[in-house]
Amino acid sequence: AGRVSVDGRVVRDPEFPTIAGKHRIAVDGRDLDAAPERVYLMLNKPRGLVTTARDEQGRDTVYRCFDGAGLPWIAPVGRLDKASEGLLLFSNDPAWSAYIADPATGPDKTYHVQVDRIPDPALLVALKAGIVDSGEFLRAKSATLLRAGERNAWLEIVLDAGRNRQIRRMLAAQDIGVLRLMRVSIGSLALGELAKGAWRPLTRAEVDAFA
């Protein structure tokens, strides 16, 4: 008894008349028509997980990282393919997610990419100039050499309008193989020291940076 209130007053009559949209009905102090709590978080996605809730082939998905967390339903903001790793956002705020995912409004996304050879300056120029693959024009906003070893190197590639497997397709067109591909930042939000497979909620300032 006393769990239900209408417009702030406790109601014990189960047949008490109410009008949807006019009366504020609460149970245990929680409005029945209240919007769900918005959740915004970042995950350091490991390689080997697919970015989907359920996979028809039975492969492990990114949702394994949230087992036991008691989170409401959240959806990935964009994707990282199975072989890629790094920063992946999740939310149950569709407008916020759409803003980030839309190539017209979304922030730049920065990737660190290990390639199977030492690239020459012409490769970096070609990545920025762009290619056409399967009818799509693909280009990097910027491409720089981070460091080089004896047989492979790391590049930093920034995209301002990511397409499906864009970096892999651009490098394949130059006969370059990808050894690792890691997203390290989205706009001003950096992956930082977040451990592989770990996640954390975004701060209010981090959420508002994408508004």
Q: Write out the catalytic residue numbers.
A: 81
- DSSP string covering the chain, please? ---EEETTEE---TT----TTTS-EEETTEETTPPPPP-EEEEEEPTT-BSSSS-TT---BGGGGGTTS-----EEES---TT-EEEEEEES-HHHHHHHH-TTTPPPEEEEEEESS---HHHHHHHHH-EEETTEEE--SEEEEEEE-SS-EEEEEEESS--TTHHHHHHHHTT--EEEEEEEEETTEE-TTPPTT-EEEPPHHHHHTT-
